[in-house]
Amino acid sequence: MPVASADARGDGPPPAVAKARPLPYVQRMSLRPILLHPDPRLRTAARPVGAIDDSLRRLADDMLETMYDAPGIGLAAPQVGQLVRLIVMDCVKAEDEAPRPMVLVNPEITWTSDETGVYEEGCLSIPEHYAEVTRPAEVAVRWTALDGSAQEERFAGLWATCVQHEIDHLDGRLFIDHISAVRRGMITRKMEKLKRDRARGIERA
């Protein structure tokens, strides 16, 4: 999910989010290419993570680096071509607040509020396209941390929107699935053209 989509309910301009935030505990990170819609991997349900090993930790570190560089507030493993149930996110917006990078392995929504919220969502896999999406305003999520411990937390506001958006990715869903078929088709056609244009640009280079 890109930072520009973090403007809730149209209440103001998109927040000025820091670019790549330094992560003191992460070393030897690398950027990974983000898949663009349409791509069959973005429509494939991810498999549960079994063992948490060094390769998964490296993937999580690389995803955080990629997310911050984009810049974004959330990223799911299928967006970098890895079909495993892993997401990262950090919805801290203020420059004077410490970042809160989160890594969620096998996240599962266990409760949703009856109250809903509307956010203008976007996606790092669908750049420059945004739409208002209605989702539960609060959710409870259970997941496994990289150290193997069980975690559970209730999220509200932008955090709730972000975690639902990223878990959708793990099930092969995109934010455009929550809007009209007509607009979804229009965005998909524009993305197909963008991918063709980029491919031609690479060929000419």
Contact 75/66 with Cβ under 8 angstroms? yes
Continuous segment of H or E residues that includes residue 168: helix 157-170
- Where are the alpha helices (H) located in 70-144, listed in sequence order? none
Peptide bond into 71 cis (omega under 30): yes
Would you please indicate which residues are annotated as catalytic (active-site) residues?
Answer: 166
Peptide bond into 38 cis (omega under 30): yes
Question: Among all chains, which residue has been given the structure tokens 């609060």?
Answer: 138
N- to C-terminal Cα separation, the chain: 30
